[in-house]
């Protein structure tokens, strides 16, 4: 499977920084799920992860979402 995906990516001229096999497709899918607003729990379930720990890598992908959380004003809650 690795060879099929890797060679097809090369044929299409798609540059993949780290993983060139099926894992890049899995990572791409998870990144798109993050972009559509699914929770890490939902993404982990979709990917078949047994723990949220395995899904945590995708939290850093949603920089816009992380910035929203960082900018959240807590003064009204105190």
pLDDT single digits (tens) 13-64:
888 777 678 888 888 888 889 888 898 899 999 999 998 888 887 777 667 7
Q: Is pLDDT above 90 for 7?
A: no
Q: Which two tokens stand for residue 52?
A: 């949220």
Give 66's contacts (C-beta < 8 A, 6+ positions apart). Answer: 59, 60
Of 19, 26, 25, residue with least CA distance to 54: 26
Do residues 2 and 22 lie in contact, with contact meaning Cβ atoms separated by under 8 Å?
Answer: yes
Number of residues that make up the chain: 78
The label of the residue with tokens 């910035």 reads 67
Greater model confidence, 1 or 64: 1
pLDDT (0 to 100) of residue 46: 92
Q: Which two tokens stand for residue 73?
A: 């004003």
pLDDT-based confidence at residue 76 (cuts at 50, 70, 90): low
* Phi and psi torsions of 50, nearest 5°: -85, -20
């Amino acid at each position: 499977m690795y060879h099929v995906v890797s060679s097809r990516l090369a044929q299409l001229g798609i540059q993949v920084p780290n993983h060139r096999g099926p894992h890049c497709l899995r990572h791409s899918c998870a990144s798109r799920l993050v972009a559509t607003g699914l929770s890490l729990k939902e993404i982990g379930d979709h990917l078949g992860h047994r723990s949220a720990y395995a899904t945590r890598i995708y939290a850093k992908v949603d920089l816009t979402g992380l910035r929203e959380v960082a900018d959240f004003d807590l003064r009204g809650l105190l």
